[in-house]
Structure 1
Amino acid sequence: MSSTEPIRTYFEGLDFVATVDAADRLLRAATVVVVADRIVAVGDRAQVRATLPPRPGDVVRDGSRLGMVPGFIDTHVHLSETLSRAAFPDNLNTRAWVFHWAKPFYAHVSDADESVSVSLGAAELLRSGTTCFLDMGAQNDPGITARAAAATGIRGITGRHAADRKPDQIPAGWSPEMIDHHFFPDARTALDVLGQAVRDWNGYAEGRIRCWVNIEGKEPCSLELHVGARQLAEELGVGTTYHLASSRQEAEVSQRHHGMWPISRIHQHGGLGANLVLAHAVAVRDHEVGLLARTGTSVAFCPSSSIKLAKGAAAIGKYPEMLDAGVTVGLGTDGVAAAGNLNLMRQIHLMAGLFKDARVDENLGGARRALRMATIDGARALGWDDEIGSIEAGKKADFVLFALDHHEWVPFHDPVQALVWSSSPASIAETWVDGRAVFATGRVAAIDEVALRAEARERAATIVSRAGLRAADVPVTTSLYD
């Protein structure tokens, strides 16, 4: 083999490959070949060897006790929030959680804190099989998130968090620095800064890190900022994401102030579109499902945070109807304070069964549908399905290998059912991104996780103390923006 020819890595005799391609093929005793950052062949061992025989120097691995699936894609996460795990009460609804707990915490997250938070979160994602994320946006400079995430080897999208409507009464714990940084005087000023963030960071790390025009959404953002963010993103050739219709309480506030629920209001002003990912979209009326479908707007459903914050997904959520209408719905973890974890496999498990149980209908959800939401549908929501989301020749080598000797897999028959209903990140052997094993042999290769965790514990305790979040008088309800 010439020294200029790249080494091929052959995964031969894989017990199964869940391709999640258009035909949803499930291959047994399959071979997958990787060259540099791409998958170049997928199929039967004999056929692959006939067309692409290994050369001296190529790597040939025995896959007989391994299963392969596409890397999971987290369509809504807050990497700047990772130091807030289990720091807030679990009897908060979404609005009280945001205004009286999360924002005071964010207000005391320094640049250095955020870098540690992103690194820690990215490591948890990789350990859980997530190879790509859509981050809501940095609390500080988006370059912090871009650099820290890129250093772990993960793929993802970030932005700069922004809003333009301060509440009439500033809650305790909101620092002047946070207010000045986060709340812009008007939508135009915010959009100018957000556009510059895209120009500075989109395409970082040889394209692994992208940057979007991300805003907070909901009550802290004006209508002009909601609509303008999507328009600016379209001009720049990127996407945008924000929280909307995240709870019934938010929808009721919108109804009182504007005479309609949030999605209808945004649509009335031309704000929906194919480059927009709505985070949560729990409070959605039947006719609004059609609006999402017709405009090509995508949704990121976060089951764990809905359950923890009582958003109401099981009670009022229209996710089965969205899927039936052709809306692209991906899965997200949200942040660790909202959901408790960055484990997308938990979200897959919940999505597969939540609506079966809530509606007493065994045909809703299911393992294959949930797996597609976490892979190819997530890639489609992020506008990245041309390169990631399935195991196919020509796509990026982003995938997860499961160790099938692990007790979670012994014995099993249907691999996809075993993946969704039986397994967890405990049986993940390796996570590959861009043709490299970024998690293997029990560790994230690029970082010192032991030192990182020690630093994270210290920084988290300091932030909680600075923010005053141990005080008994921190509100658990809110009237802000009412």
Structure 2
Amino acid sequence: MLRTLIENLNFIFTVDADDTVLRKASVVLDNDRIADIGGADEIAGRHVRESFDEVIDGAMMGMCPGFIDSHVHLSETLSRAVFPDNLNTRAWVFHWAKPFYAHVTDEDEYWGALLGITEMLRCGTTCFLDMGSQYDPGIVIKAMEPTGIRGITGRHAADNRPAELPKGWTEEMADHHFFPDAQTALEELEKCVVKYNGALDGRARCWVNIEGKEPCSLELHVGAVELAERLGVGTTYHLATSIEEAKVCEGKYGVWPITRIDNAGGIRKNLVIAHGAAVTDEEVKLLAERGAAVAFCPCSSFKLGKGATAIGKYPEMVAAGVKVGLGTDGVSAAGNMNLMRQMLLVAGMFKDARVQPDIFTARQALRAATIEGARALMWDDEIGSLEIGKKADFILFDLDHVEWTPFHDPLQALVYSASTASVCQTWVNGRKVYGDGQVYGVDEKKIRSKARELAAEAVIRAGLHKDDVDTTTTLYDEGN
């Protein structure tokens, strides 16, 4: 057994049920788990110093649970800073993202996933929920293997193919993007879960993920949660992502998206709804009753104008007991995979929009980035907080940094003052996977070079470098 002592930490955010913050504290790791945690003097009195294989001085460090990204698109990582910022969600998806997907290869996905994972680890993210590969979940899992990160992925699926493909889409993309019907899609998704769930000694999980919204039939939405329930895993899909989507749904079916899916029995406790921007007060109660989770992506909402501050019900969801995690979305929508930036935004945006300084506090922001994300991912029995018996997934901050000089309340400093610049180490499974300015196990310089090369080629293949790409859409406005 490998025993590690990290002693005399300035603070530890446990993010337990009481949000306990320990000062001058130590933590004991036995292999991949937390064996003890508490005041430095207490820990010193309970353990023989010579029993440790490694002792780390944490006097100028602070510890936080690893951040959990509740919604990310690793297959989009090569599209950073390609899509403009004058698009609403539906035009962004149908005329920019889909053409990009149409021209991304499995090789592109692999290097993009590697790049995204290195960014996450540098930003203190130790676990993620990825929407899934356009080809095979094994691509993401292959990228996860050498980096040591923890995560959930899947296989992209949709079944409501447009009768006429928009400009930029290809027949090849449509064939692997859209299954002929819900049953065929679910059969393939089940194969993926059986093959990949629990890979990498449990660090990787595979879910029954689908795209959601208009490209998916009602049968596929409901079938995904039912299949996931039977397999003992979760599912995630996009829903209620914008007011435009809600209005299209209301025009066709007389109700908003979440109510439509729930009326068919599709909103359940194993579901993570990506975005959930257009939600009624009644639907907030419904989500709480069903036990479903919502992944809120503040940066994405800001760039695409989803309306989080205008119509969003996220503070109400938290108050109602809905599991609300934070996500970064894809880099083309959010610009980054930095959950510290999401924490800052969510801790301030509703205060300002509603002129109410006591709403969505720093404490709630930290919980959304950690334990609430773990609850959404159905992994809170092992991650999301720093408690005895849980996995040793955590971040160490360098407090000898201008961002932390000086500070009194570490929570206020973390959310409002600090950035990823002061993340000095990221640990997953009791192992340091980022430190000394580098992600271990991979050649980051090679990854960045390859990503630049492949991204430039994909953008040109997709035609997204031209000036004639549509910025509005009527796709799926009519019909099923």
After TM superposition, is the score higher than 0.5? yes
Q: Which residue of 1 aligns with 2:188?
A: 193
Structure-2 separation of matches of 1:114 and 1:454: 15
Q: Which residue of 2 aligns with 1:295?
A: 290
Structure-2 separation of matches of 1:460 and 1:239: 31
Q: Which residue of 2 aligns with 1:53?
A: 48
Q: Shift of residue 56 of structure 1?
A: 5.2
For the Cα contact (< 8 Å) 2:4–2:52, is it kept in 1?
A: no
Structure-1 separation of matches of 2:52 and 2:332: 47
Query: 199, 207, 215: which one pairs with 2:210?
Result: 215
Structure-1 separation of matches of 2:61 and 2:44: 19
Q: Give the CA RMSD over aligned residues.
A: 0.8
**2:346 aligned with 1:351, yes or no?**
yes
Q: Shift of residue 310 of structure 1?
A: 0.5
Structure-2 separation of matches of 1:102 and 1:326: 33
**2:270 aligned with 1:283, yes or no?**
no
- Specify every segment of 5 or more residues in structure 2 that has no aligned partner in the other structure, as ranges: none
Q: Give the match's secondary structure for 2:41.
A: helix
For the Cα contact (< 8 Å) 2:3–2:51, is it kept in 1?
A: no
Q: Give the match's secondary structure for 1:217.
A: coil
Query: 181, 184, 194: which one pairs with 2:179?
Result: 184
* 1:312-352 Cα shifts (integer Å, max 9, x gaps): 00000000110111101000000000100000110011011
Q: Which residue of 1 aligns with 2:235?
A: 240
Q: Which residue of 2 aligns with 1:100?
A: 95
Q: Shift of residue 13 of structure 1?
A: 0.5
- Identical positions, percent: 64
Q: Which residue of 2 aligns with 1:261?
A: 256
Paired AA for residue 118 in structure 2: A
For the Cα contact (< 8 Å) 1:104–1:467, is it kept in 2?
A: yes
Structure-2 separation of matches of 1:219 and 1:463: 26
* 1:373-432 Cα shifts (integer Å, max 9, x gaps): 100000000000000001111000000000000110000010011000001110001000
**2:129 aligned with 1:127, yes or no?**
no
For the Cα contact (< 8 Å) 2:157–2:178, is it kept in 1?
A: yes
Q: Give the match's secondary structure for 1:170.
A: coil
Q: Which residue of 2 aligns with 1:161?
A: 156
Q: Give the match's secondary structure for 1:315.
A: coil
Q: Give the match's secondary structure for 2:12.
A: strand
For the Cα contact (< 8 Å) 1:13–1:64, is it kept in 2?
A: yes
Q: Which residue of 1 aligns with 2:461?
A: 466
Structure-1 separation of matches of 2:412 and 2:298: 19
- Note closer, same or farther for the CA distance 1:57–1:244 as it changes in structure 2 (3 Å cut): closer
Structure-1 separation of matches of 2:265 and 2:280: 18
For the Cα contact (< 8 Å) 1:71–1:399, is it kept in 2?
A: yes
* 1:240-291 Cα shifts (integer Å, max 9, x gaps): 0000000000000000111100000011010011100000000001100011
Q: Shift of residue 47 of structure 1?
A: 1.7
Structure-2 separation of matches of 1:156 and 1:124: 14
Q: Give the match's secondary structure for 1:60.
A: strand
* 1:109-163 Cα shifts (integer Å, max 9, x gaps): 1111100000000000000000000001111111101111232110000000100
Structure-1 separation of matches of 2:347 and 2:139: 35
For the Cα contact (< 8 Å) 2:242–2:278, is it kept in 1?
A: yes
For the Cα contact (< 8 Å) 1:431–1:439, is it kept in 2?
A: yes
Q: Which residue of 1 aligns with 2:199?
A: 204
Structure-2 separation of matches of 1:281 and 1:56: 49
Structure-2 separation of matches of 1:290 and 1:203: 33
Structure-2 separation of matches of 1:414 and 1:74: 25
Structure-1 separation of matches of 2:304 and 2:81: 13
Q: Shift of residue 167 of structure 1?
A: 1.5
**2:168 aligned with 1:173, yes or no?**
yes
Query: 442, 464, 480: which one pairs with 1:447?
Result: 442
For the Cα contact (< 8 Å) 1:135–1:157, is it kept in 2?
A: yes
Q: Give the match's secondary structure for 1:119.
A: helix
Q: Give the match's secondary structure for 1:41.
A: strand
- The count of residues paired between Structure 1 and Structure 2 equals 477
Structure-1 separation of matches of 2:178 and 2:134: 11
Q: Superposition pairs for residues 343-382 of structure 1, below 5 Å?
A: 343-382=338-377
Q: Shift of residue 50 of structure 1?
A: 2.3
Paired AA for residue 84 in structure 1: S
Structure-2 separation of matches of 1:473 and 1:61: 57
**2:390 aligned with 1:395, yes or no?**
yes
Q: Which residue of 2 aligns with 1:3?
A: none
Structure-1 separation of matches of 2:459 and 2:282: 42
For the Cα contact (< 8 Å) 1:163–1:221, is it kept in 2?
A: yes
Q: Give the match's secondary structure for 2:202.
A: coil
Q: Give the match's secondary structure for 2:49.
A: coil
For the Cα contact (< 8 Å) 1:94–1:309, is it kept in 2?
A: yes
Structure-2 separation of matches of 1:175 and 1:444: 37
Q: Give the match's secondary structure for 1:55.
A: helix
Structure-2 separation of matches of 1:227 and 1:49: 53
**2:65 aligned with 1:70, yes or no?**
yes
Q: Shift of residue 7 of structure 1?
A: 2.6
Query: 315, 319, 322: which one pairs with 2:314?
Result: 319
Paired AA for residue 342 in structure 2: Q
Structure-2 separation of matches of 1:146 and 1:176: 27
For the Cα contact (< 8 Å) 1:8–1:54, is it kept in 2?
A: no
Q: Which residue of 1 aligns with 2:135?
A: 140
Structure-1 separation of matches of 2:173 and 2:49: 57
- Note closer, same or farther for the CA distance 1:340–1:439 as it changes in structure 2 (3 Å cut): same
Q: Shift of residue 369 of structure 1?
A: 0.7
**2:223 aligned with 1:225, yes or no?**
no
Paired AA for residue 214 in structure 1: N
Structure-2 separation of matches of 1:446 and 1:422: 31
Structure-1 separation of matches of 2:41 and 2:124: 29
Structure-2 separation of matches of 1:338 and 1:221: 21
Structure-2 separation of matches of 1:119 and 1:7: 28
Structure-2 separation of matches of 1:70 and 1:53: 26
Structure-2 separation of matches of 1:129 and 1:397: 13
Paired AA for residue 405 in structure 2: V
Q: Give the match's secondary structure for 1:242.
A: strand
Paired AA for residue 296 in structure 2: F
**2:337 aligned with 1:342, yes or no?**
yes
Structure-1 separation of matches of 2:167 and 2:280: 35
Paired AA for residue 334 in structure 1: D
Structure-1 separation of matches of 2:119 and 2:321: 31
Structure-2 separation of matches of 1:298 and 1:259: 24
For the Cα contact (< 8 Å) 1:431–1:437, is it kept in 2?
A: yes
Q: Which residue of 1 aligns with 2:323?
A: 328
For the Cα contact (< 8 Å) 1:169–1:480, is it kept in 2?
A: no
